[in-house]
Amino acid sequence: MITEEHYAAVADCPPDLAFARLERKFRDQLHANLDECQNNQALDYYIIEYINHTLAAAEALGLDFLDLFSAPDEDDTSNLRATYNAFRRSVDCYTVRVHIRNVRAGPSTSLPFDENDKGHIRAYLIKIKETVEASALETARKEALVNRVNGFLAKVDRNRTSMQRFQDFMMSMARTTSEATEQLEPAWKWVPPIAAIVGARHDAENAKLPPPRKRTEPPKPKPQPAGKRNGARWDIDDDIPF
C-alpha cells in the first residue's frame, strides 16, 4: 500500500527523481498485488491502477514524457497487455536516464554497498547475463553486452563499486535494448531495480557530505568622508576656483 510517508519521502527531490522513486513504489505494489491475484479481472484492475497512478504522478510533477498515453478503458481490456508493455518500456527508459543523470551529477566516483544491496544487484545481474546469453542476439553484440555485465558484476563485490562500470553497463543495456527490444525484453525488467538501488545509495552518500562553503562577499568600499575629493583633502568652506 502506498502511504503518505512514501509521498513525503520525495518532497525534496527534483521532479524527475521524485517520479522515479514513486514509480518504483507503484511497481512494487503492482507486483505484490499480481502475486496474490486469483483471476484475470483482478489482474486487469491492478494493471490499470498502476498506469493511472503513474500517469497522475507524471502530471503532478510537470513531466510530459507520458503525454501520448491515457488511462485505459476499464470496459475494454482487450489491448491492455500491449498497452502496459509499451507504457512500462517508456517509463523504464525514462527512469534509467534519471538515475544515470543524478549519479553522474554527484561527486562520488564509487559507492559502498551493504551485503543486502550487493546480493540484490548480483542476483539481478546474473538474471540479465543468463537472458542475454540465451537470446538470439548476434554473437558480437551478445559478447559485448555480457562483458559489460561481467565488468559491473566484478566491481559489486568490492568495498566500493565504480560508478563508471555502472554507467557503462546501463548505457550498453539501454542502447542494445532499444535496437533489439524483442530479444532483450525479458532482461530489461531487471535493469530499473539496479538503478534504483544505486540511486538510493548515491543519495545516502551525498547526504553525508558537508554543505558547500558559503561564498564570502568582498568588503564594500567605505564612503569617502566629506571634505575629500580624489584623495586630496579640501575644506568645503574654501573658495572653489572657476
Q: Picking from 50-54, 141-145, 180-184, 224-228, which range would have the lowest pLDDT averaged per residue?
A: 224-228
CA distances from 173 to 15, 97, 228 (A): 24, 12, 72
C-alpha cell of residue 32: 505484490
Q: Roughly how many angstroms between the first and final C-alpha of the chain, as a whole number?
A: 87
pLDDT tens per residue, range 13-25: 788 888 988 898 8
pLDDT at residue 57, rounded to an integer: 92
- DSSP letter, residue 187: H
pLDDT recorded at residue 231? 44
In the chain, count of helices (H) and strands (E)? 9, 4
How many alpha carbons fall within 13 Å on the CB side of residue 145?
Answer: 31
Comparison of pLDDT for 163 and 44, the residue scoring more: 44
- Helix crossing, 40-60 with 15-36: angle to 10°? 170
The predicted pLDDT at position 211 comes to 47
pLDDT band at 108 (very low <50, low <70, confident <90, very high): low
Task: Give helix 15-36 / helix 191-207 axis angle, nearest 10°.
Answer: 130
Whole-model pTM? 0.53
Of 52-61, 81-90, 219-228, which gets the smallest average pLDDT?
219-228
Residue pair 34/46 in contact by the 8 Å Cβ criterion:
yes
Q: Please give the pLDDT value at position 119.
A: 92
- Mean residue pLDDT across the chain: 78
- pLDDT bin (cut points 50, 70, 90) of residue 183 is confident
